[in-house]
Chain A
Amino acid sequence: MTTRRSRAAWQGAAGLTAVALLTAACSSGGGGTPAATGGSTQTSGVTITVALPTDPPPQADLDAFTKATGIKVTWSSSDWDSLQTKISAAATANTYFADVTNVDWSRVGQLGKLGWFLPLETYLDANSLKSDMPQLASFTLDGHIVGVPYDSSYMVTTVNTELFAKAGITTMPTTIDEYTNDLKQIKDKGVVQYPLNIPFAAAEGLSTYWYETTQAFGGTVLDAKGKPQFTDPSSPGYKAAQWMVDAVKNGLVPPGNINVNDSQGEQTLMAQGQAASTFSDYSGLINSLYNVTDSSTVSGKIQYLATPGVNGPASNLSNPDGMGIPKQAKYPQAAAKFIDWFVSASTQEDFSGLNGQDKVWGSSFIPSRLSVVQKLAQAGSLADGERLAGMLKTASPVFPDGAPTWYPTFSNAVYTNLHAAATGSMSVADAIKAISDVANQQAGNS
């Protein structure tokens, strides 16, 4: 029989359970939300969360860091797009999300203006970083370092030397005209039906390809004020767009590439010997993909090529990955220590395999420190390393004055309109106009 007292006890217990459930569900799971600015200066005995779009380094590396500093690391991996959304959502809601997270070069302008990340020059030795990290400029806005590159990805041209040789090409091209003629020769001789890989899917990779090609044609996309530099048909940006679309129309690029993104193109075309060259490829892919026999049929046949320019080799486009400290970080000092360790020369040597295989980090294709890249090249641990190290020296950012705050909007216009031009649903002139309209509008608003 239920008595009044027992019913009251039931209600009390149910109420407590309800409150407990709500408390558990609504708590951040880490001891509450810190203040919007500031955060603990504590560095020893704390646990920081590192959220990056890559797998974690080997536990041995992280354990070594914990042993040296007393800071434990919780690694949170997620895909790049989701991570950008999380960064925006957390910053907008002024809530904690991670102590260290991704800073993509393309968002430096936006993130810098919004003040969502702490200025790293107050935590790290900026001068020391600058001297050994050519790509740090891509992460600097108005003198403030928004992020530090941990991987020195940059765009390079890759060629399948066997396919070039089969077409009778023994001297590699150094200019864009020579390069185009060589590709035509490969096609005409029937070596492969479609010798060039351009990922025309409407995604960021297409924008990057256009920036690299524009740089090869000797120009930039936007000026320091964000005004488009590609509207004139004789401008490098316009020529680059025309060259890319013509490559589809003239049968140098597989027609299906209008729906192929960068990684698909690398894996299904270049790595399978279906394409002879990718004009704007990612540095380090020979090591991580093309020479991996499990996923490639062209092992030992791909080499890097100094980007063919108008009158000779052109500079390469920086495309590095960086990390920074969100303003809502709980332990910014500890986070800074982690970044300092992560991008130090000794750690990057560990990640690169210079000090044994147990500390190699699979995701780290090319270290961001020039000194480590050179060591790798000298040690023979990097395929085509000498050439790669040479190209890193001349790698330069898309936007020398920092990416504009409205870069994501601009990039969206670039890849959707270039994609449309490749499908034939709009002309190159119309695509260029649509892109420049967006740039002009955004530059005018900012």
Chain B
Amino acid sequence: MIPAPRRSATPTPRADDTVRDEVVLAGRNDRPARTTRPLVRRFDALPYVLVAPVAIFIVGLAIVPALFTIIESFFTVDELNPPTRFAGLGNFVQLLHNHAVTNSAVNTALYVVVGVTLSTVLGMAMAVLLQRPFRGRGLVIAILILPWALPGVVEGILWSGIFDPNAGLINSLIATFHLGAGDGVLLGQNRLLTVGLIGLVQVWQMTPLSTLLIFAALQLIPEELYEAAVVDGANQWRRFTAITLPLARPGIAVAMVQALIATLNIFDQPYVLNGAASTGSSVTMETYFVSFQNLNFGQGYALSLVVALVTVALSLLVVRFIYRKVEL
């Protein structure tokens, strides 16, 4: 039997009690030293001071601009038509009547569907493939991450060489293998094809991160669960649906949210690959055109606000329906 620990008459002070005790005793040197903990904790400024620079940066570079955007979106801020004046919902109404904006909203919705779906499915598949240790797994993961590390513009330029209708890789292969004339138009002719191909480029970039996020979740699943399932006679598919998928939900949710944010804000890939053409333009591109080509910042703020609100709303939906807290 293990004896219960005895309460010491003079408890050993903890390291962090030292200063506190000193504070308590300040000015009371005539009294015997107290070793009990004070009822009121002394305010410790150090953590706040250390966090302050980052906090100020976040407030200055995120919170303040966000508030500024919200407020200014209700004003006419047009450099070519001053002064700034209250517009109510005027900016939002004008954007609704702007065909380029509504067209880009449809394109962006397609980018979201293609990007979030494919990057999540492929990320899940790759994470499952990487789940079991094998020789060279670290190298595979390192190579896998490369597309994610590339800037969007670089990707766009890289893929423009692949999609180029006159000298691109795809048409060259088609011609080489006599599968066609090799002068097929890949981008710009048709909205669905254009958005689909540009979406694939973004999937190529996003999938590594999705894979890593889901892979991290899979690494937390105890091997015993799979062993028990095997003993119970569960086949691979059953083990996947009953163990892997449910327990990977936190990782899947985070992967979906990051894909959602990336696809809703897609800019580099369509801009580099397809220019300003309506077949592939995104809402973020229109925000750029409205703000920095037309210098109508009020409408630019309004469009940015709409994108931000949609991003938050859809992210909350993903968290609500996909995310589940897992305790192992």
Contacts and interface: CB of A to CB of B under 8 A. Distances in A.
Interface string A419-435: 11001010000000000
A446 B278 CA distance: 26
A428 to B, nearest CB: 16
Interface string B181-224: 00111111100000000000000000000000000000000000
Given A7-B19, A201-B275, A256 B49 contact: no
Given A254-B183, A408-B293, A201 B166 contact: no
A416 B276 contact: yes
A102 to B, nearest CB: 14
B295 A419 contact: no
Interface string B155-166: 000001001111
A7 B47 CA distance: 12
Interface stretch (B51-59, B120-128, B129-137, B243-251): B51-59
A40 interface: no
Contacts of A264: 160, 164, 166
A249 B246 CA distance: 55
B240 interface: no
B23 interface: yes
Interface residues of B, number: 44
Contacts of B22: 3-4
A256 B187 CA distance: 8
B79 interface: yes
B277 interface: yes
A419 B275 contact: yes
A278 B161 CA distance: 21
Interface in B275-328: 275-279, 288-289, 292-295, 297
A259 B185 CA distance: 8
A4 B166 contact: no
B275 A268 contact: no
B169 interface: no
Given A409-B293, A416-B276, A259 B165 contact: yes
Contact of B100 (A254, A255, A416, A419): A416
Contacts of B19: 2-4, 7
B186 A11 contact: no
B23 A202 contact: no
Contacts of B186: 256, 259
B231 interface: no
A416 B274 CA distance: 11
B142 interface: no
A267 B166 CA distance: 11
Contacts of B45: 11
Q: Of B80, B165, B277, B292, which is in contact with the most chain A CB atoms at under 10 Å from its CB?
A: B277
B81 interface: yes
B185 A256 contact: yes
A144 to B, nearest CB: 17
A114 interface: yes
Contact of A268 (B23, B167, B289, B297): B167
Contacts of A1: 18
Nearest to A269: B166
Contacts of B278: 202, 416, 420
A113 B80 contact: yes
B167 A18 contact: no
Contact of A423 (B56, B165, B184, B188): B188
Interface string A258-301: 11110010001100101000000000000000000000000000
Contacts of B164: 256, 260, 264, 268
Nearest to B274: A259
A338 B235 CA distance: 76
Contacts of B1: none
A22 B52 CA distance: 10
A21 interface: yes
Contacts of A15: 49, 52
A261 B80 contact: no
A123 interface: no
B70 to A, nearest CB: 18
A165 B308 CA distance: 59
B174 to A, nearest CB: 12
Contact of A202 (B52, B274, B295): B274
A261 B188 CA distance: 12
B179 interface: no
Contact of A259 (B18, B100, B167, B187): B187
A201 B188 contact: yes
A202 B275 contact: yes
A242 interface: no
Contacts of A89: 292
B87 to A, nearest CB: 15
Contact of A258 (B80, B167, B188, B276): B188
B146 interface: no
B44 to A, nearest CB: 9
Interface string A299-337: 000000000000000000000000000000000000000
Nearest to B167: A268
A65 B53 CA distance: 42
Contacts of A3: 19, 22
A167 B243 CA distance: 71
B171 interface: yes
B292 to A, nearest CB: 5
Given A412-B289, A415-B276, A416-B100, 10 more contacts: A18-B50, A18-B52, A22-B56, A202-B277, A203-B275, A254-B166, A255-B165, A259-B274, A274-B166, A405-B80
Interface of A: 1-4, 7, 10-11, 14-15, 18, 21-22, 25, 84-85, 88-89, 92, 110, 113-114, 201-203, 254-261, 264, 268-269, 272, 274, 405-406, 408-409, 412, 415-416, 419-420, 423, 425, 445-446
